[in-house]
Structure 1
């Protein structure tokens, strides 16, 4: 499993040997479904589609394995361990305070779609959150910005049918300053941005969930 661990690290710690010497080095397209029942939100069901170059090592390790084969379970566990190590790469806020997550996802899996690897999992909140009359925000990003994680369309974040009449979602895409853009582009794969800068957060989309 040495190669598996190595390739998973390539995906989530972005030490890919790419020819493009600028941030970001890896791209993940996101879709998220709000998980809620009886007026309370319990988590986020996420789907991460990795770009073909990022996917290459994972799919190489999977070989010709069919869906459900043991190798997919092992790869999924390795990837998920790294995601958990970074707190799901997600921040969730309510009234200016971070909402805590459960330590383990309720379910997760890894699959192949063409030439891309797809990770799915449910991010559980440590405690269900009441929705009526409340506003929440959440963002998914790599703090270093080696991995660009984003929603391609506003509709890539969705609500269950039971909430569509009382809640609404909005995806806000930031517009970093020219100075911040130049700084990000100046970094190559061996450079690390100042941790206090939270570079990835400067480029992170913010989703707002507002309920009546």
Structure 2
């Protein structure tokens, strides 16, 4: 699994540019400090007593080196690390909101509309920066009628987004379902076309991938409930 993907230059701020990078614009030089990286995610489906999916609770862990750079920089800002992490959370939320937090959710053949994130936090955990947030659906959906699938990906593929895993196998904790429903979960690995793999491999640090490239390298979470 290739986890060394390119960040874009801080100067190339096109409308579609990876919004996670833009959160660092107020910290001079930091956006260029680490030219590649990844995010490990955990997802928990929030289900009400009636068996309706209400939200996806997500935790994103930045890769260790990028986390180290962030922690060092934030520790030197006004208020220290804790205040810096609070500011960072607001910046991440604001910049990812127009992109639905890199998340697409489908029920059968229908893509579900997502709501506004109001609950979020950023913390340091075991030396890594973690962004935790609750992404609600615009309208709750009954589980058990159709298979639910989701993908989380950076459209430009400057950052690789994968479920937390030991080796190549995500643990059960990487995708869980709340509530009392009996559900089975799977995380399907990406299976990109070899031509797209070659295209991604040829991207230089200053190259700009076409929006949508990241979709082809995204894992898919699959949930089926009785």
**CA RMSD in angstroms, aligned pairs only:** 2.5
Choose the corresponding residue for 2:91, options 70, 78, 82. 78
Matches within 5 A, 1:42-191: 42-63=54-75, 69-103=82-116, 105-151=117-163, 152=165, 153-155=170-172, 156-160=174-178, 162-163=180-181, 166-191=182-207
Q: Whole-Å Cα distance in 2 between the matches of residues 142 and 34 of structure 1?
A: 21
Taking structure 1 as the reference length, what is the TM-score of the superposition?
Answer: 0.81
Secondary structure of the equivalent of 1:133?
coil
| Residues paired across the two proteins, number | 194
- Tell me the CA shift for residue 132 of structure 1: 2.5
Q: Whole-Å Cα distance in 2 between the matches of residues 88 and 71 of structure 1?
A: 21
| CA displacement 1:5-26 (0-9 Å, x = unmatched) | 977247xxx954546xxxxx22
| CA displacement 1:153-187 (0-9 Å, x = unmatched) | 05211112512xx2211111022233221110100
- Show structure 1 runs of 4+ deviating over 6 A: 64-67
Q: Which runs of 5+ in 2 are unaligned?
A: 1-19
Q: Which runs of 5+ in 1 are unaligned?
A: 20-24
Taking structure 2 as the reference length, what is the TM-score of the superposition?
Answer: 0.77
| Greater displacement, 119-128 / 186-195 | 186-195
Q: Whole-Å Cα distance in 2 between the matches of residues 60 and 81 of structure 1?
A: 23
Q: Whole-Å Cα distance in 2 between the matches of residues 158 and 85 of structure 1?
A: 26
- Contact kept, 8 Å, 2:44 with 2:178, in 1: the verdict is yes
- Contact kept, 8 Å, 1:58 with 1:75, in 2: the verdict is no
Match of 2:223 in 1: 209
Match of 1:22 in 2: none
